[in-house]
């Protein structure tokens, strides 16, 4: 088995970063287009929420299928396929002319949104557990940076090149280009290659997908806490992604320039939060298996606190609002790289894509309803409290409730993580001993 060169490993990380960056740009810029798209199709908040929920529902239904395929077949080739699907479905969204058609084509973009378990699983075979949090945090920088790039494309570039449809042409084309690069440039990595127990082993029996190990996933108590926090934890992200621009413009009086100047620095701090969270998770994990859970717990409770304070500041006090939102953005992403690393800390290499896909399935089962729920709550609060603060109440109700719930769930995981981590390390050690005995 040939040793992977450092230069090629860096190349793969760069390719995956670009894939995630451009994919997240395409996926998330729709939030910045709320005003323009709603004007095109004459939409209310509920109809807008349905557009975003559609893609989430499709992604949710396909997560188990993608996870199974990634654990059975070459992950790099499947990632290339996902990238091609992303480009093709985005092109379709740019050419339709009615709301039902747009609703359907945007839903179809969810097909490739469930492709990440294979990417993260492949990365886990390039990097050992002691650095995975940092690598995942680095890759996840692409999400907020993509969000920022999406804002620039939607708010500044789109008006210059013919509107939101023209931007979809650009991102769709880039998806197809990235598909070609992944197909011809990224090699498959043997499953389990980066596990510390197999360090220095040039040859070993390849790990193969089997249903017994899939069943073992559900016997690990930590996974049940991961599933539970996933169900609740993605609600805030989807609500903020798809409604925060509308909130800034409608209820805080921001124009396009003000939104970009405010959200630009916030999103950059959010990007830093992914890496900081992953770095802290790795650092604490070296001291205790509870380390990643501790960092995740701190992130959700501090994020909830600062978001509550930010949205309750006066609309005239933009400076305080900005500072509090920057603090919110720093802590919000702490969980993300640590949850992924935790899944791989307790599951064997041959079923990691499936394990993460199941976790994403549980996440999106609830989160797919988040945009629609936020739109419905906004209409309710507009009738019962005030039409000038309905989005504020909807965002706060969903975000604070679910983040506090996540904190409680993480407390439970602190009591189970040690046993599950030790079990995997013992399992890997036993397999390595068997290989050495051959």
* Inside any domain, residue 12: yes
Report the pLDDT value the prediction gives residue 200, as an integer from 0 to 100. Answer: 62
* Inside any domain, residue 379: yes
- DSSP letters spanning 377-437: HHHHHHHHT-TTSHHHHHHHHHHHHHHHHHHHHHHHHTTTHHHHHHHHHHHHHHHHHHHHH
Beta-carbon neighbour count of residue 268 at 10 Å?
16
Beta-carbon neighbour count of residue 130 at 10 Å?
12
Averaged pLDDT, 353-382: 80
Q: How far is residue 292's CA from residue 286's CA, in Å, rounded to a whole number?
A: 10
Q: How far is residue 360's CA from residue 353's CA, in Å, rounded to a whole number?
A: 10
Residue that wins the pLDDT comparison between 368 and 97? 97
Beta-carbon neighbour count of residue 48 at 10 Å?
25
Report the pLDDT value the prediction gives residue 368, as an integer from 0 to 100. Answer: 66
pLDDT classification of 386: cutoffs 50, 70, 90: confident
Q: Phi/psi at 277 (nearest 5 deg)?
A: -60, -45
Distances, alpha carbon 7 to alpha carbons 4, 10, 126, 185, 282, in Å: 8, 5, 12, 13, 23
Closest CA to 72 of 217, 207, 184, 219: 207
* Inside any domain, residue 265: yes
Q: How far is residue 399's CA from residue 160's CA, in Å, rounded to a whole number?
A: 35
Q: How far is residue 64's CA from residue 59's CA, in Å, rounded to a whole number?
A: 10
* Inside any domain, residue 1: no
Instruction: Name the DSSP class of 332.
Output: G
Q: How far is residue 325's CA from residue 317's CA, in Å, rounded to a whole number?
A: 13
Residue with structure tokens 């890759």? Answer: 139
First and final C-alpha spacing in the chain: 17
Q: How far is residue 38's CA from residue 44's CA, in Å, rounded to a whole number?
A: 7
pLDDT > 80? residue 53: no
> Cβ neighbours of residue 290 under 8 Å, at least 6 residues apart?
284, 414, 417, 418
Q: How far is residue 150's CA from residue 224's CA, in Å, rounded to a whole number?
A: 34
* Inside any domain, residue 320: yes
pLDDT > 90? residue 280: yes
pLDDT classification of 1: cutoffs 50, 70, 90: very low
Averaged pLDDT, 76-80: 93
pLDDT > 80? residue 175: yes
Residue that wins the pLDDT comparison between 241 and 248? 248
Q: How far is residue 421's CA from residue 289's CA, in Å, rounded to a whole number?
A: 7
Q: How many domains does the chain have?
A: 1
Residue with structure tokens 């069943």? Answer: 215
Residue with structure tokens 């989430």? Answer: 56
Mean pLDDT over each residue of the chain, to the nearest integer? 86
pLDDT > 50? residue 97: yes
* Inside any domain, residue 163: yes
Beta-carbon neighbour count of residue 215 at 10 Å?
10
Which stretch, 130-139, 166-175, 374-383, has highest mean pLDDT?
166-175
Q: Can you give the CATH number for the domain in which 204 is found?
A: 1.20.1250.20
* Inside any domain, residue 412: yes
Domain range spanning residue 242? 6-437
């Amino acid at each position: 088995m040939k040793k992977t060169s450092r230069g090629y490993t860096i190349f793969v990380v760069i390719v995956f970063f670009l894939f995630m960056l451009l994919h997240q740009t395409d996926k998330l810029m729709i939030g910045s287009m709320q005003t323009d798209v709603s004007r095109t199709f004459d939409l209310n908040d509920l109809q807008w929420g349905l557009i975003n929920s559609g893609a989430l529902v499709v992604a949710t239904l396909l997560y188990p299928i993608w996870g199974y395929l990634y654990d059975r077949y070459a992950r790099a080739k499947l990632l290339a396929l996902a990238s091609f699907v992303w480009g093709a479905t985005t092109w379709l969204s740019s050419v339709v002319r009615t709301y039902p058609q747009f609703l359907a084509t945007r839903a179809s973009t969810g097909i490739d949104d469930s492709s990440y378990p294979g990417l993260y699983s492949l990365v886990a075979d390039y990097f050992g557990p002691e650095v995975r949090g940092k690598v995942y945090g680095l890759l996840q920088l692409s999400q907020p940076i993509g969000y920022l790039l999406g804002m620039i494309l939607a708010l500044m570039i789109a008006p210059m090149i013919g509107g939101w449809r023209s931007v979809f042409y650009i991102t769709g084309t880039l998806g197809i280009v990235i598909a070609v690069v992944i197909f011809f440039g990224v090699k498959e990595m043997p499953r389990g290659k980066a596990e510390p127990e197999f360090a220095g082993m040039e040859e070993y029996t390849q790990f193969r997908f089997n249903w017994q190990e899939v069943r073992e996933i559900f016997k690990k108590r930590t996974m049940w806490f991961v599933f539970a926090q996933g169900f609740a934890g993605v609600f805030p992200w989807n609500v903020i992604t798809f409604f925060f621009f509308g909130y800034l413009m409608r209820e805080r009086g921001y124009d396009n320039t003000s939104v970009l100047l405010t959200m630009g620095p916030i999103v950059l701090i959010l990007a830093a939060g992914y890496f900081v969270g992953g770095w802290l998770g790795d650092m604490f994990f070296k001291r205790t298996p509870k380390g990643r859970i501790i960092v995740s717990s701190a992130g959700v409770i501090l994020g909830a606190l600062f978001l509550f304070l930010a949205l309750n500041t006066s609309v005239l006090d933009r400076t305080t609002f900005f500072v509090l939102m920057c603090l919110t953005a720093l802590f919000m992403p702490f969980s993300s790289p640590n949850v992924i690393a935790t899944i791989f800390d307790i599951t064997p290499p041959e079923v990691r894509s499936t394990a993460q896909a199941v976790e994403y399935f549980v996440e999106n089962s609830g989160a797919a309803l988040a945009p629609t729920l936020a739109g419905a709550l906004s209409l309710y609060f507009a009738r019962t409290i005030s039409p000038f603060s309905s989005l504020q109440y909807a965002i706060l109700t969903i975000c604070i409730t679910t983040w506090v719930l996540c904190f409680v769930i993480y407390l439970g995981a602190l009591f189970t993580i040690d046993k599950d981590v030790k079990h995997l390390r013992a399992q890997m050690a036993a397999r390595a001993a068997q290989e050495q005995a051959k």
